[in-house]
Homo-oligomer: A and B are copies of this chain.
Amino acid sequence: MAEEQGITVKKMENFTDWYTQVVQKAELADYGPVQGTIAMRPYSYAIWEMIQKIFDEKIKKTGHKNAYFPTLIPEGFLKKEAEHFKGFDPEVFWVTHSGDNKLGERLVVRPTSETMIYHFYSKWIRSWRDLPLLLNQWCSVLRAEIKSTKPFIRASEFLWQEGHTAHATKEDADKEMFAILDEYVDLAESYLALEVLKGKKSEMERFPGALTTTTFESMMPDGRALQMGTSHNLGQNFSKPFKIKFLDKDKKEKFVWTTSWGISTRLLGALIMVHGDDRGLVIPPKIAPIQIVIVPVYYNEKERKDVLKKAEKVKEILKEFRVHFDGRTEYSPGWKFNEWELKGVPLRIEIGPKDVEKKHVVFARRDEAEKKKKTMVEDKEIEKEAGKTLDMIQQSLHEKSKNEMEKMTHDAKNYSEFKKAVENGGFIRAGWCGDVHCEEQIKIETSATIRVIPLKRESGFSKCVYCEKSAKEVVYFGKSY
């Protein structure tokens, strides 16, 4: 690390610089040569691997399988679904040559794989026996982002999973879309400790080519909503142009119903923004590559031996956790404390000569670092207390995220309240007539959009916040990333 070890701005005073500093100083990512691209350094990649493992297990348990489809998609494929093409055309990277040869047809570097995958599904699906077809792909996707690029949050290339499933009926596709949404929400809340709102998107905000788009969104500390992932029922919008037909039990040939769904390394952006503090990153224990760091503290050779001996024992005791022992001699304990706080390791265990003597160790919770609170833990309690402490940190981070989201969610009974609320940031709960015109006007006038239409109609608003006609839905507005 450079001389300037820690974060030099306050999170709530200069959120943008704070984010940039955390990303770089915690060695999460570095900027690539092409606008909006980054290198994911080992530390952020290790968090992504944790997320991958959790979600991969979830979907495999429910019968999904991984596969891999080509990166380069012929222009003709992308054009088969008109709305889809219109949505992605402005931001795709075009391959025009291989070596010195001009290609007969231009190719796009995959921005998403519906069209490529459906090309194969039309060959693989013949009968109701082949359904449901439940495939997923872990890969990178590329979408040229020119403005407001931000590591993890808005990038020209990111890593993601894209699930693509085919079903015999609309009902089955709906069931899949919602089941995946629930898995996503569980991942966000139970593992990433991020409270989210889940629901449907309005027509205006739907995925290009989708019948229904569902989403889960979290509130960032600067008052902007972050779409963390989506799960779509694509209806027969793709199966028709791609001719994905099956012979049903009733001997009739039918088009399949498809879904697609994805989460990406954007989740890391949410994680950094919501949990981080003035000292840097804070990682929830369940997805922390290092859950516990042991830092020895000693001032002479005699102390060194005793302390290291005990540290070795403690590491052994904690072997069920992801533990790192920081034995570097070129850095002071204080420097190490700062570094591991910057890197967001949930629990630090300090062991000094007095701790050896008194048969205890010192626990320092990362989420309470600003309080400088430390706890003595007796040697024989270390394993139990470590487990309990990590659970508490996990829970407490989620509680905090929940409270913050609540505090940043406001009701708007009329348009003047609405406009004031938008300026303050956060989610704005309000009535909506269901008319796209009101939605558009609100966007033009305030730049807020409908983030989520809750799955169960909420009460409290009888009139549309814009036109004051009868409200069809109660929805959550917000400015978004």
Contacts and interface: CB of A to CB of B under 8 A. Distances in A.
A99 B90 contact: yes
Interface stretch (A36-44, A439-447, A468-476): A36-44
A97 interface: yes
A169 interface: no
Interface string A102-140: 000001010000001001100110000100000100011
B98 A95 contact: no
Nearest to A33: B74
Contact of A70 (B37, B68, B107, B119): B37
Contacts of A382: none
Interface string A382-405: 000000000000000000000000
A382 B68 CA distance: 36
Interface in A126-165: 129, 135, 139-140, 142, 144, 157, 159
Contacts of A157: 70-72
A357 interface: no
B91 A98 contact: yes
Contact of A71 (B69, B73, B91, B142): B142
Report whether over half of chain A's contact residues are helix, strand or loop; otherwise say mixed: mixed
Nearest to A141: B71
A49 B136 CA distance: 13
Contacts of A45: 65-68
Among A48, A70, A116, A330, chain B packs the most CB atoms within 10 A around the CB of: A70
A39 B66 contact: no
A93 B90 contact: no
A99 B106 CA distance: 12
Given A93-B95, A107-B93, A330-B129, A38 B70 contact: yes
A89 interface: yes
Interface in A18-49: 30, 32-34, 37-42, 45-46, 48-49
A94 interface: yes
A325 interface: no
A100 interface: yes
Given A123-B30, A159-B68, A144 B37 contact: no
A34 B109 contact: no
B92 A94 contact: no
Contact of A124 (B30, B65, B109): B30
Given A38-B70, A39-B70, A90 B95 contact: no
A94 B97 contact: yes
A77 interface: yes
B107 A98 contact: no
Contacts of A49: 66
Contacts of A129: 330
A77 B330 contact: no
A107 B97 CA distance: 11
Contacts of A93: 72, 95, 97-98, 107
Given A39-B67, A39-B70, 17 more contacts: A32-B116, A33-B70, A39-B68, A39-B69, A40-B68, A41-B67, A42-B67, A46-B66, A49-B66, A70-B157, A72-B157, A93-B95, A94-B98, A95-B96, A96-B96, A109-B109, A139-B140
Lowest 6 A-B CB distances belong to which pairs? Answer: A98-B144, A42-B65, A37-B70, A40-B68, A32-B70, A94-B97
